[in-house]
Amino acid sequence: MFNYMFSVHPFCSTWRIIISKAKTITPRHLWRSDSCHTGPDVVLQPNKAKGAPNTQVTKTRKKLRSSCQPVLDHFDQQYSQELGDLWTPARAVLLDPHSWQYGVMLNRFTTVTNIKQTLQSKGFSTLLPQTEASTLCGDVPTVSNSISQDEKCPVLPPHCISKCPDDSHVQLVSSSHALTLPQSESSLRLPCSSLQCYIHPNPVCFPSQAHRPGQLKQYYLLNAASLLPVLALQVRDGEKVLDLCSAPGGKALAIMQCATPAFLCCNEPDPHRRDWLAKTLESFLPHSLTSRVIVSAQDGRCFGQSEEGAYDKVLVDAPCSNDRSWLYSSSGQQGEQRLKERARLPLLQAQLLRSALSAVRPGGVVVYSTCTLSSSENYAVVESVLNDCPEAEPEDLWEEIAVPLSNCFTFSPDHRGHEQTPHKPSLQSQYGVMSSYHHRLGILVVPQPRRTWGPMFLSRIRRRK
């Protein structure tokens, strides 16, 4: 596929890493240095008392970090304008890491029956309607935790969806209005998925599982909103998929939970994050998938040139001003430096999105996502690329994702802080009324009390045939 190939470090020697001749010219600090949606600050630790079952957990808290005042001041000024009344509760959530909720994504390549039972006994419920995971050519079985043995376990049985831990009605929250739908009606609109994620109404989660060579982990902890871009991608068995900015690997794992693609390329130009990605893949995917999943090291902006039209689906989880992480910058100086870098990110993000649109085949789909509330990195990036790429057609995710999942997530109904552009009227006339235009640009998950998921922006764009 590319010109050079070498093995990874011993802990992930089973995963191939592909290096292209294209040089990475983006300063490393502009690529996301933190995991947007992994690693809880409020965790449940195993109960180590003698005689206690392995599945019992007790609640512990990490020490609170101090927020960075320059970053918070900047957020207050920008997001109060862009989000209106949603910003005040979102601000309270971001400033209280102990309130953050985390989802538990189960690994379909291991036996997880005991984990499911424990989650349900602790008040967790499934996020999505469930269907049995399919396999391609029958060569990707569910296996036991120990991948050094050939023992096979039966495929997980279908799991009926349980109610999301909230009221029996769902709401789309905005500063001016709310739309309420019966849960049964909204749930029917969401396609079943083999992806199994459990959520809890309170900020509790299972302990992280340590990496152990030769063993697969049973679950992955994450911000449940980070699964939405994968759901929007709608990966099917046998497709060729590119995860353009893949590290630390959570979305790549989610893709493999949803379907069995013929080929999944996980691209990451930064060496440290690429090692992290390869280690994640080794921890969750069996050896039988090493021919289907590779790790590449191209500059994402050049990928579309070297692999034009090669993929059915492309995910661009772009480097961004990670609000959760940046708010807790280690010093005021670091926070101010990050704010200076923030102005340069939209250019990089637009370049990555254009590259993705070149890498996807005509008729294929690109999903662009970030973990920031910033309109300039979300709606504005998508709009600028649409204006430059006449073959790109945005698709409305509001009815497909926002409405069915509004019982668990809070979606911003508009983006008032987004400035008018000379090209906007033509796009509006092409795609209909203003609300339809907003939704075609993308949807935004805003953290709110008891629904602390996000930030997460996602937009789906199809390349016309």
Interstrand relation of 392-395 and 456-463 (parallel, antiparallel or unpaired): antiparallel
Q: Is 371 known to be catalytic?
A: yes
3-state secondary structure string across the chain: CCCEEEECCHHHCCCEEEECCCCCCCCHHHCCCCCCCCCCCEEEEECCCCCCCCCCEEEEECCCCCCCHHHHHHHHHHHHHHHHHHHHHHHHHHCCHHHCCCEEEECCCCCCHHHHHHHHHCCCEECCCECCCCCCCCCCCCECCECCCCCECCCCCCCCCCCCCCCCEEEEECCCCEEEEEHHHHHCCCCCECCCEEECCCCCCCCCCCCCCCECCCEEEECHHHHHHHHHHCCCCCCEEEECCCCCCHHHHHHHHHCCCCEEEEECCCHHHHHHHHHHHHHHCCHHHCCCEEEECCCHHHHHHHCCCCEEEEEEECCCCCHHHHCCCCCHHHHHHHHHHHCCHHHHHHHHHHHHHHHEEEEEEEEEEECCCCHHHCHHHHHHHHHHCCCEEEECCHHHHHCCCCCCCCEECCCCCCCCCCCHHHHHHHHCCHHHHHHHHCEEECCECCECCCCEEEEEEEECC
Catalytic residue among 197, 302, 371, 408: 371
Alpha carbon distances (Å) from 150 to 108, 142, 218, 259, 268? 16, 11, 17, 22, 31
What's the N-to-C CA distance of the chain in angstroms? 25
CA-closest candidate to residue 137, choices 233, 285, 226, 237: 237
Of 5, 4, 8, 2, the residue nearest 278 (C-alpha) = 8
**Residues known to be catalytic:** 371
